[in-house]
Chain A
Amino acid sequence: MSRIRPIHPWPLRLMHWLNAVAIVTMIGSGWQIYNAAPLFPLTFPARVTIGEWLGGAIAWHFAAMWLLVLNGACYVAWGIASGHFRRRFLPLTPRAVITDALLALRLRLPHRNGSYNAVQRLLYVGVLAFGVLIVLSGLAIWKPVQFAPLAALFGGFAAARYVHFLAMSGIVLFLVVHLILVALVPKVLWPMIAGGRLTEAGQ
């Protein structure tokens, strides 16, 4: 017996696109805020930033943070409760990651809709970890007095800015890889919008 179910159930698709809006807004406004006091000899060009000036960028950043955090919390709760994390992300072994990475580099790693290879699993778990890191370091920068213990965990306010930047870099790197993969295997895009259909053998 077999049954048909979507590749991506609707809560996942909804949260994915809400997250896309939140992340793009957070990164664009974050770059504008960064430009006001750069940590490195590097600033972001105005055409890729959001908010026009520091006040506008902060307003966007502190508005979108609620979407990012609430949506992210829903995703984590749903991922655990529905078994999505367990089914899609586990098991995750270094050996499998190396095997699949080598296959991918030779463009020999087939894509199966509805199932993640070990490299994908590592990327998704990794970007989730960066997501937690960017929220916690962001809270430390926002409230270095009220959340002093959290700020201390990152080595203080100034160090938390570097951690926040590092986590952003990790997420941007993920997005670059994510978008390249979608461009290489465009059939994965539609299921993230409409759900797609996955036929699987019955248990």
Chain B
Amino acid sequence: MTVLLTRRSMVGRALAIGSTSLLTACNFDDLQHPDLADRVLRVMSRWNDRVQEALFDPTRLAPTYPASAITRPPRFNAYYDISDVRVVDGNAWRLDLFGAISEKRAWRLEDLRTLPQESQITRLICVEGWRVVGQWRGVPLGDFLRRIGADTRARYVAFRCADGYHSSIDMASALHPQTILALDFLDAPLTPAFGFPLRLRIPTKLGFKNPKSLTALGVTNEYPGGYWEDQGYNWFSGS
């Protein structure tokens, strides 16, 4: 799968200024034909993934905040407008499991609620540069992975969402104590806009690595990519 990092690269632009005619055969919008700049950027992004994996300290906690620091009203963000949020039916909802997991039975919402929960007031930093502080409560992902018999030596944990969004994280970050499958936001069940019925909350990564309205969770050694990652965002995107 090829990744387009710049629809029209800087190299392309510099050439275009000098000789537009030479470039009529090139199409920088073609996902299947990344130009040289796209390839270089892709290699560098993979390199940055490795550097960030090496920098990641599994015992270092993201900063936590007092309740007074919580951002109100909370800020909505998705790849679509808030008016297009899909509403999930909590009664029919199931969390499907796939990949290197020994107990693959799907989980219902009420079953997840019976598991030990953890609460956190942490900061979410968006890849765009803004940040908000929120309170989330849910099941620590590491506990959940061990409970379902996941192979925690596998490289990736992948997530699929009700709105077509998807993402994936490295196993070390998945096992971090502050990485949770959140059920509650601001002391109440998640609302549709903020990820009902279940979302990933991972304060050691950027906001787009916190997929909402999860429908499936998998453990795999094959790079799963993600909605934004496939378009050129750095995959690891750790904080």
The residues of A with any CB-CB pair to B shorter than 8 Å are 25, 28, 33-34, 36-37, 50-56, 58-60, 62-63, 66, 143-146, 148, 157-158, 161
Contact = CB atoms under 8 A, between A and B. Distances in A.
Nearest to A63: B44
Nearest to B63: A148
10 contacts: A36-B129, A52-B8, A56-B9, A59-B6, A144-B239, A145-B60, A145-B203, A145-B204, A145-B238, A146-B55
B79 interface: no
A164 to B, nearest CB: 10
Contacts of A53: 6-7
Contacts of A66: 44, 47
Interface stretch (B149-157, B158-166, B229-237): B229-237
B129 A143 contact: no
Given A51-B6, A55-B233, 6 more contacts: A36-B127, A37-B129, A56-B5, A59-B234, A145-B63, A145-B239
A155 to B, nearest CB: 13
Interface in B30-45: 40-42, 44-45
Contact of A52 (B7, B204, B238): B7
Contacts of A143: 52, 55, 238-239
Contacts of A50: 10
* A interface secondary structure, majority: helix
A59 B10 contact: no
B23 interface: no
Contacts of B232: 55-56, 59
Contact of B60 (A51, A56, A59, A146): A146
Most chain B CB within 10 A, of A28, A56, A60, A144, is at: A56
A63 B57 CA distance: 23
Contacts of A56: 5-7, 9, 41, 232
Contacts of B231: 55
B131 A55 contact: no
B129 A60 contact: no
Contacts of A28: 10
Q: Is the interface of B mostly helix, strand, loop or mixed?
A: loop
A158 B131 contact: yes
B44 A58 contact: no
A55 B45 CA distance: 11
B55 A58 contact: no
B130 interface: yes
B48 interface: yes
Contacts of A146: 55-57, 60, 238-239
A36 B128 contact: yes
Contact of A54 (B10, B48, B127): B127
Contacts of A157: 123, 125, 131
B48 A62 contact: yes
Contacts of B41: 56, 59-60, 63
A37 B123 CA distance: 17
Contacts of B63: 145, 148
A37 B130 contact: yes
A50 B45 CA distance: 16
A39 to B, nearest CB: 8
B39 to A, nearest CB: 11
B34 to A, nearest CB: 12
A50 B13 CA distance: 9
Nearest to B203: A145
A33 B62 CA distance: 24
A28 B131 CA distance: 23
A54 B127 CA distance: 9
A38 B206 CA distance: 18
A83 B44 CA distance: 34
Nearest to B44: A63
A58 B215 CA distance: 30
A145 B129 contact: no
A54 B6 CA distance: 9
